[in-house]
Amino acid sequence: MVTDFESYPEWAGDIKAVTVEETDAEGRATRVTWRTAAFGRSTTYTLDYDYSEAPGAVSWKESRGDITSRLDGSYRFEELGGGETEVIYSLDVELRVPIPGFVKRRAESRIVGTALREFKSRVENGAPAEASEEPTPAS
């Protein structure tokens, strides 16, 4: 589900468009360009995906970005038993333009909270999550 990149605009509110640029021999997207809403404007960035730890993890590194110089992260999946899986989302963001620390922390918190909330809703219900200003804490 996290690698079904083309479906993100259907359920992730800030994602406006996704283009898979390259795939590997198994058909998995290895380079994806995203257009999203961020900081009150549209931003575009390209992420290179690494499946070397799959199915336990999928990670990415930014190769291009217009307002970001780093947008690296991962999803890690830990089986809890009873058909439950814990998803751990990590994200390291650096902007090309300096902004105050408190603004950056609030934006990072919102990005992570929204990503987890919308992903959880998609997995559990197959539908978008309710909009909320406050992020859900990561597990």
Does residue 138 form part of some domain?
no
Residue 137 domain flag: no
The answer to the question of residue 73 being in a domain is yes
How many domains, in total, are found in the chain? 1
What range does the domain containing 95 cover?
A: 5-125
For residue 29, the cross-strand partners are: 23
Tokens found for residue 100: 């105050």
Q: Is residue 94 part of a domain?
A: yes
**How much is the pLDDT for 22?**
98
User: Rounded to whole angstroms, how far apart are CA atoms 45 and 47?
Assistant: 7
pLDDT tens sequence across 85-126 = 998 889 888 888 777 777 767 766 666 666 666 666 766 776
Q: CA 76 to CA 134: how far, in whole Å?
A: 23
Question: pLDDT tens digits, residue range 43-69?
Answer: 999 999 999 999 999 999 999 999 889
What CATH number is given to the structural domain containing 117?
Answer: 3.30.530.20
Identify the pLDDT of residue 132: 36
Whether 132 maps to a domain, the answer reads: no
Q: Is residue 130 part of a domain?
A: no
